[in-house]
Structure 1
Amino acid sequence: MNEIISDIESSMKKVRSGEVIKGKVISVTDSEAIINLGYMSDGILPRSEVSEDSEINPRDVLKENDEIYVYVLNMNDGDGNILLSKKAADKIKVWDELEDSLKNNSTFEVTVKEVVKGGVITYAKGIRAFIPASQLSVSYVKDLNEFIGRVLTVKVIELDRTKEKIVLSRREVESAELEVKKRGLWSEIKPGEKRTGVVSRLTKFGAFVDLGGVDGLIHLSELSWKRVKNPSEVVSIGDKVEVYVLDVDKENNRISLALKDVSEDPWNNVQDKYKVGSVVDGTVSKFLNFGAFVEIEPGLEGLVHLSEISEERILKPSDVLNIGNKVRVKILDIDPKAKRMSLSIKDSAEKPKEDFEKYVDTQESGVSLGELFGDKFKDLKFD
């Protein structure tokens, strides 16, 4: 008999307080669950130890024959029963998973619950965790409340098990994702392509567009066929735009873009619309030391050389012109390949014909040659 008892005891699990062990659910009621631990006596799992949520009924999460992990609170609850806790076991297991996550640099999803000073609160696998505002995104976050209820993919960046402190980051996950996108974009993008992006920044010389982790620049001159003084005249930050890739400089990480449709370049059909010698209306758009540019239509400008501005000698265009002046110009030359047009303001007006008749005496004097020369004819002898 002693040998039989010894064999039975040796086949039993070693159960100690403070351990996490695996058991099987024997029965479940509204108040508790009985767990077979493979020990001489079964364990009692009270409702209060099933979950952190005291409102949860054991029947809602457990059923007979379920295998679960439990934490041994006490080997004897006073009635000879082993007192167990599932929520304590779950917590220990989660902490182990979080430590592995930190070690392996792995990611998981959380839902933002509330805003606190300096950041937001979420729950990492059921454990309260903090995401600093600086770790919410690679972009500047203006209003933390916009994140409430959002599901974020995060990683653990700081963990203190003894203090039950967890700090998470979405920013580092985003940075890694953007790096992957950048490598993909740089390997694919080519001049001549049409891409969709979002205006990310405006400067005095143009607009930057996020193409998916990489910014390209639309120079001021490439925003529109008409002359643009400030990019805000055409686009705003956050605008979704379709752009043309003009140039890709991988060595210097630069991408040149155009917002204007290259197929709509007015220089493409300039010779069909305008002829050398014709007179057209335009607007003075820019001054140079040697002349003034006149815009004939959006994107189509010609140069009026200083000598072609006025019949009078002038030292600079502003002596007789102002930016924005409406003027008539004569087209002297068109070079569509070089996108150049020579114009003249002084030759645009029809010059009055010189009246030479004013120098001719059309009145009859009534005097004959004989009267002019008188008796001199008498002295002439004709043979």
Structure 2
Amino acid sequence: MKVARWYGQGDIRLEDESMPVPDSGEALIRVLWVGLCGSDLEEFDSGPIVARPGVILGHEIVGEVLEPAADGTGPRKGQAVIVDVVIGCGRCYWCQRHEEGLCPTLEVRGQTRDGGLAQYLTADASRLVVVPSGVPADRAALAEPVSVAVRALRKIGSLLGRSVVIYGGGTIGMLCAQLAQRGGASTVVVVEPGALRRSVIQRWGVVTMWADAEEERKTLLQGLLPVRGADVVVECSGRSGVAREAARVTRRGGSMLLLGVPVGEENMDLLDLMLAEKSVFGSAAHMWDDDVAVAVDLLSSGALDVDSMITHRVPLEDIGHAFRLLQESGEAAIKLLVDCSSAPGPEDEDENA
């Protein structure tokens, strides 16, 4: 089978390997689509950051069960599934409370453990989330980023009647905007420099804005928000200095949610956070049976528009080209999907024999 292994900065190689052999509780999955995100590009450009050199990248995975688990657990043959990528030790304080994302020895498929940029993989059958038959596989590939947004906004609680500002109009920012709108937020504003991304977001009736200077952005936001300011501010960009700006925009007694992966240390005005009693939340992981399952339900119901977010589709054989597209396309590349089923596999060869 074909796999794409990443060895360091700018070094990803398409290689031939033997088919994986599942354990009794694992299913053999034929990978259909894998979404690439900003963290994949960061590893490719500047890693290793989190990823282990030599790993198969890709943590946004949708596939099809080729061989169900031998012990009878999990989905049946032929079902489309989302593969769980958050893997805890199963024994620590956090894992025992079903908080595997906080496990001190956490492994993530596609970062520290082989991921989805391959034709086949094996996975714990009991933690596969079935995709309803009416959901296109490429749309289902966005279940992982949707689950990130779902988990994050849950930490804030009800958004009904609240004003929400989102910094960063990439995939996660776009999904947070749609979920906030669906959750009854009175005002949703996305702060995003890219004109193309702003035009996509505006299709959903979400307000967007940008100005090059921070003080000008703050002034523009004041004209779009209630007098009290932003009840909730979500930082999705990861750009240097934006978290500090987001904290300043958050109203007194409001909440700030950190989702963007920072590239370095950030200086925060702790006195402002304390005296204005602002709450700061961080969110990173997701759970297969809760956040991912909810994400699949949202995609199945058509509650979210993800089709307009998919800008590129590239076959696995052209994985180097896929990363170059992400490097060079800038804001034009919102969500790039890798087609891992385009190359023939052993079952295809058997059928053609």
Compute the TM-score of the two structures, normalised by the length of structure 1: 0.21
The structure in which a higher percent of residues are helix is 2
TM-score (norm 2): 0.22
More relative contact order, 1 or 2 (CA 8 Å, 6+ apart): 2
